[in-house]
Amino acid sequence: MIVRVKAHAKVNLHLEVLRKREDGYHEVETILQTIGLHDTLSLRATKGPTHIICSHPKVPTDRTNLCHQAARLLQKRLGERRGVEITLEKRIPVAAGLGGGSADAAAVLLALPRLWGRDVDEDVLFELARRLGADVPFFLKGGTQLGRGIGDELTPLYASGKGVYLVVTPAWELSTAKVYEGLKMGLTRHGPKVNLQNYKALLSRFPDRAWPGFNRLADVVLPAQPDLHRLYLHLKESGSHLAMMSGSGPSLFAVYSTVEEAEQARQEISPATAFTWIGPSTRVGVEFEQRGE
Ligand code: ATP
């Protein structure tokens, strides 16, 4: 039997870094949104050890792959002797601020119990997700959520679901850790910006020019990258409701009312841009495609 799942990427509709904690992690306030852009994972139960197949040059297939780590955690927790072969079709740009590795890990946590025919409590899945990374719990449900703490204290939000997203990713990568270092937070503390009542009202009208579209990490990345900054300004002035950097970048995204507007903006972007994608937001992080022999 093969279980196939889509693991959706995310964008950050809001990202404030509140302070640096003593353990080195940063406390954040973020609003995450899953989008139609996705990786596809095919899982097949095996008698042998867990095995990852992926032809993307930047994705490791050893134990450092988050899918591998997710499978091993689950195997251990369930005392499961069977292994799994995971074929990963990678479409989400890597190390680009779109959460691809975390999305894949969440997909494995949801798909593997189905493949093995085992029931796993939601609480257990959330606990394992937290151990895999701060963004992984978000992807178990996906949609629109407010994340606090290190991003894993989640509150579901309800967005209109409207809007056409254009994602633009340049050909180079950014290390999340280095971008946070660049903030040089020291003892700085920023106050939370999300007033839930206001933001809920804004999300019900989304996409709307009134959306604040704040990302603290853009303060580090954009001034150091003039080409990216120019691209950001172009997206802002391209008839979009909002244009932002996602997570720690370098991906940018803009939201339009129609596919035609998004296509028009895409055509005006230099062909040197490595990756572009146009599509809707989604209400789920992981989607089962089919189940068959
Ligand atoms: P975030 O926005 O959560 O910081 P990101 O989108 O910037 O994440 P990822 O695409 O998740 O970054 O990849 C970060 C690193 O993780 C990569 O450089 C890669 O070596 C490693 N990695 C491990 N597993 C995976 C996976 N399944 N897919 C992609 N990268 C993976």
Q: Write the CATH number for 103.
A: 3.30.230.10
Residue 135 falls in the annotated catalytic set: yes
Q: List pLDDT tens digits, range 110-135.
A: 999 999 999 999 999 999 999 999 99
Inter-residue contact 19 to 72 (CB < 8 Å): no
Q: Which amino acid residue places its CA nearest to atom 27 of ligand 1?
A: 101
Please state the φ and ψ torsions of residue 184, each to the nearest 5 degrees: 45, 60
Q: What is the pTM of this model?
A: 0.96
| Mutation choice for ligand 1 from 91, 94, 286, CB with most ligand atoms inside 8 A | 94
Inter-residue contact 174 to 221 (CB < 8 Å): yes
- What is the rounded distance in angstroms from the CA atom of residue 13 to the CA atom of residue 162? 14
Q: Provide the pLDDT for residue 293.
A: 39
Structural Rg of the chain based on CA atoms: 19
Q: pLDDT-based confidence at 96, cuts 50/70/90?
A: very high
Whether 93 is in the pocket of ligand 1, judged by its Cβ within 6 Å, is no
Q: List pLDDT tens digits, range 169-178.
A: 998 888 889 9
Which tops the pLDDT comparison, 43 or 185?
43
DSSP bridge partners of 242: 255
Work out how many domains the chain is built from and give that number: 1
Q: Provide the pLDDT for residue 48.
A: 83
Q: List pLDDT tens digits, range 155-167.
A: 999 999 999 999 9
Calculate mean pLDDT across residues 216-221.
Answer: 95
Share of the chain above pLDDT 90, in %: 85
Q: List pLDDT tens digits, range 227-245.
A: 999 999 999 999 999 999 9
pLDDT at 271 over 80: no
Least confident residue range of 45-59, 70-84, 269-283: 269-283
Q: Which amino acid residue places its CA nearest to atom 1 of ligand 1?
A: 99
pLDDT at 258 over 70: yes
**276 lies in which domain range?**
1-293
